[in-house]
Amino acid sequence: MLYIVATPIGNLDDITLRAIKTLEEVDFIFAEDTRVTKKLLNHLGIEKIVYRYDEHTKMHQVSNIANMLENGNKIALVTDAGTPCISDPGFEVVDEALKRGIKVIPIPGPSAMTAAASVAGISTRRFCFEGFLPKKKGRQTLLKSLAEEERAIVIFESPHRIEKTLRDIETFIGVREVVIVREITKIYEEILRGTTTELIEKLSKNPIKGEIVLLIKGNEK
């Protein structure tokens, strides 16, 4: 049985009771970064063998995990933070497990995307999630395709690219109301709201750090 386990995105107290129970009961854990996951396990007082599963190891780990599952092992898949398979490694192993008739069980919990959307202050009754934007190839094409999008748009971004992304949004989508949610659930959690123009000016004077979720208000025709 394969468990897709959501883990805290910052505050370790956000771990669910079901996630703790699952991590205690499985035979093995596969993690995006074993060091990060071991810190969480140590915090929870759980001793478990943790193997690496990320973009660099997934090509050979997918079959390994599937074979272990077929041999009757219970395995948990986790990422560094949040819910696996959401702009994080995991899809391939879930797909392979399902093809082999292995049951896959979600253990829901923290997600930066939904947490940020809940406090954005713009309508997210309908929204589209784009994950991380392409750094170069396809970036301009994607942004242009989102110009007429009426739903709110949610993306992930890094602090050293956020100002450029806001400028690209103005260039290819237009001046929009946006919300920056950074370091959500952590000590320096901060929410910045305003137009792209206002936030570009603000960030040029006061750069920000930390992981960022950026929400863009949809096109109001």
Give the Cα separation of 185 and 110 in Å (integer): 10
Half-sphere exposure of 60 (CA within 13 A, CB side): 4
For residue 45, the model assigns a pLDDT of 96
pLDDT tens sequence across 92-111: 999 999 999 999 999 999 99
Whether 221 has a pLDDT exceeding 80, the answer reads no
- Strands 177-182, 75-78: parallel, antiparallel or unpaired by DSSP? unpaired
Sign, CA torsion 42/107/60/32: negative
pLDDT tens sequence across 142-200: 999 999 999 999 999 999 999 999 999 999 999 999 999 999 999 999 999 999 999 99
Chain-wide mean pLDDT for the chain?
A: 95
Looking at the whole model, is its pTM more than 0.85?
yes
Quick check: 189 and 14 in contact, CB under 8 A? no
Q: How confident is the model at residue 60 (pLDDT cuts 50, 70, 90)?
A: confident
pLDDT tens sequence across 119-149: 999 999 999 999 999 988 999 999 999 999 9
Quick check: 112 and 82 in contact, CB under 8 A? yes
For residue 74, the model assigns a pLDDT of 98
Quick check: 26 and 76 in contact, CB under 8 A? yes
For residue 220, the model assigns a pLDDT of 85
For residue 126, the model assigns a pLDDT of 93
Give the Cα separation of 44 and 133 in Å (integer): 34
